[in-house]
């Protein structure tokens, strides 16, 4: 097996950094100016976590491509970390969205689009009742509230190194087997050990043990983990998860915000899962902020009676802009025209092409790396076997190598997701976009091992 030459990696990283600085003067200038009014020079702090020493400032995006203020064009394989999995400004949604904006956005009253959306979500994902909010983070927070209210239990169970948005209870990881705040967790409201149990994904005995005490309101799970790279469930894991949660009176919340890449009905529809609650955000409105959570008949029946009408506005579930007319119009048209079986039938083979191309390069250079794929999402790993859980995935992270691969790609007009080596395919991505990435990936590898 070939090993990456670390001295060379450090040298090449500097070369790429210089190239980036030299070719992005306008972004650099804007970033300097932004320091004076925006904390860290960006509208949201994580926007500094790109491979270059400053973020590129975007001018516009269309389909699978975007351009920056220095006049560079990029193939976008990040797609707003799934928020733009629909492609940027898809033509098929623009008329609907602009018409809605001209007719008003926020009323605190429903529009007829809500009914189409509720009916379509029920048909697609198999849960009968739905609510609309603005972000997947909020949808998860509200689902947790419902779970606690119905079970009268305080704890939540998540998987080590999960990500479900900035939900306090989920910002917990195992430290030598003990639950504590995740690294970077800024000002946790309480030590998450008080609210959260954390176990490894794919560990059935740990799940049995954690739920046996009957104090866990719900398991919040991505059906396949995606936020430390793609980690597939073992065969039979979902059956066990469902059986144990039911037996112990624990509700099961499935978060499909990323795994909607599996197919038009997400992982849930593709693999016949039966969650009690279901969450999805990000691409469901083609980039317009919106998210939804759905629930089973039984959960809906029990939830309806929880709060008297006079207190319904102070039950902790809300957001003045939630369920606004623009979100609903965007969801309606996205479900009707973008997240369609026809588009998935294009997107998934392109992700397979990505997987094949990257695998060929890895094999050619005899690297101990692999590629994993879930529907139209693919990701390469710097380890020889698929990780089965978050700890194994975290141990495989190689920050310098990540930075280098990302920067090398960025300097050649390809954007990968900043937090891992993920590529996502939109309905507008082309074969030549994918093949360009394979070529650049090969070049990057050659620069490290030749």
- For ligand PLP, the binding residues (CB under 6 A) are 81, 135-137, 140, 163-165, 222, 227, 255, 257-258, 281-282
Q: Which of 101, 100, 105 is CA-nearest to residue 324?
A: 105
Closer residue to ligand PLP (CB): 96 or 227: 227
CB 163 within 8 A of CB 230: no
> Smallest distance from the beta carbon of 62 to ligand PLP, in angstroms?
22
Classify each residue of 401-426 as buried b or exposed e, where b means 16 or more C-beta atoms within 10 Å of its C-beta. Answer: bbbbbbbbbbbbebbbbbbbbbbbbb
Minimum gap (Å) between residue 226 Cβ and ligand PLP: 6
Q: Give whichever of 227 and 296 is closer to ligand PLP, judged by the CB atom.
A: 227
Closest approach of Cβ 412 to ligand PLP, in Å?
26
Q: Which is nearer to ligand PLP, 282 or 372 (CB)?
A: 282
Q: Give the nearer residue to ligand PLP in terms of CB position, either 222 or 379.
A: 222
Residue 128: count of CB within 10 angstroms of its CB: 15
- The distance of closest approach from Cβ of residue 244 to ligand PLP in the complex, given in angstroms and rounded to an integer, is 22
Q: Please say whether the beta carbons of 421 and 380 come within 8 A.
A: yes
According to the 3-state scheme, what is the secondary structure of 68-116? ECCCCEEEECCHHHHCCCCCECCHHHHHHHHHHHHCCCCCCCCCCHHHH
Tell the smallest beta-carbon distance from residue 343 to ligand PLP (Å).
Answer: 21
Q: How far is the CB of 256 from ligand PLP (least distance, A)?
A: 8
Nearer to ligand PLP, 86 or 140 (CB): 140
Cα(345)–Cα(336) distance, integer angstroms = 15
Nearer to ligand PLP, 136 or 350 (CB): 136
Phi/psi at 59 (5° precision): -100, -55
Q: How far apart are the first and last CA of the chain?
A: 13
Position of minimal CB gap to ligand PLP: 165
Q: Go through the chain and tell me how many residues it has.
A: 450
* CB closer to ligand PLP, 143 vs 338: 143
Residues 379, 423 contacting (CB under 8 angstroms): yes
CB of 346 to ligand PLP, least distance (A): 23
């Amino acid at each position: 097996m070939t090993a990456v030459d670390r001295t060379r990696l450090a040298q090449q990283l500097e070369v790429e950094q210089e190239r980036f600085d030299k070719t992005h003067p306008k972004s650099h200038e804007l970033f300097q100016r932004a320091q004076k009014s925006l904390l860290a020079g960006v509208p949201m702090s994580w926007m500094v976590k790109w491979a270059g020493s400053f973020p590129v400032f975007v001018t516009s995006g269309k389909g699978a491509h975007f351009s920056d203020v220095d006049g560079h064009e990029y193939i976008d394989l990040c797609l707003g970390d799934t928020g733009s999995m629909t492609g940027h400004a898809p033509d098929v949604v623009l008329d609907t969205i602009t018409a809605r904006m001209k007719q008003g956005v926020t009323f605190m009253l429903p529009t007829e689009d809500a009914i189409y959306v509720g009916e379509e979500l029920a048909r697609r994902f198999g849960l009968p009742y739905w609510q609309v909010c603005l972000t997947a983070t909020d949808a998860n927070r509200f689902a947790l509230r419902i779970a606690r209210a119905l079970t009268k239990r305080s704890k939540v169970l998540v998987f080590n190194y999960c990500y479900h948005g900035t939900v306090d209870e989920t910002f917990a990881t195992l430290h030598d087997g003990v639950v504590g705040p995740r690294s970077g967790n800024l000002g946790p409201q309480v030590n998450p050990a008080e609210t959260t149990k954390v176990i490894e994904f794919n560990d059935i005995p740990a799940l049995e043990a954690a739920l046996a005490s009957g104090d866990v309101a719900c398991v919040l799970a991505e059906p396949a983990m995606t936020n430390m790279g793609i980690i597939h469930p073992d065969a039979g894991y979902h059956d066990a998860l469902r059986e144990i949660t039911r037996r112990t009176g624990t509700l099961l919340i499935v978060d499909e915000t990323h795994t909607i890449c599996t197919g038009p009905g997400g992982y849930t529809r593709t693999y016949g899962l039966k969650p009690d609650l279901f969450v999805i955000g990000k691409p469901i409105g083609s980039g317009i902020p919106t998210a939804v959570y759905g629930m089973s008949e039984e959960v809906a029946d029990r939830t309806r009676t929880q709060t008297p009408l006079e207190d319904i506005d102070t039950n902790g579930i809300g957001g003045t802009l939630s369920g606004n007319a623009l979100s609903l119009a965007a969801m309606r048209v996205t479900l009707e025209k973008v997240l369609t079986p026809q588009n998935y039938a294009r997107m998934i083979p392109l992700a397979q092409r990505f997987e094949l191309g990257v695998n060929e390069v890895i094999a050619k250079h005899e690297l101990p790396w692999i590629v994993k794929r879930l529907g139209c999402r693919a990701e390469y790993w710097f380890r020889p076997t698929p990780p089965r859980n978050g700890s194994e995935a975290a141990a495989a992270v190689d920050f310098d190598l990540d930075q280098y691969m990302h920067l090398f790609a960025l300097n050649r007009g390809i954007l990968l997701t900043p937090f891992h080596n993920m590529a996502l395919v939109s309905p507008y991505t082309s074969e030549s976009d994918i093949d360009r990435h394979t070529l650049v990936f090969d070049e990057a590898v050659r620069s490290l091992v030749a």
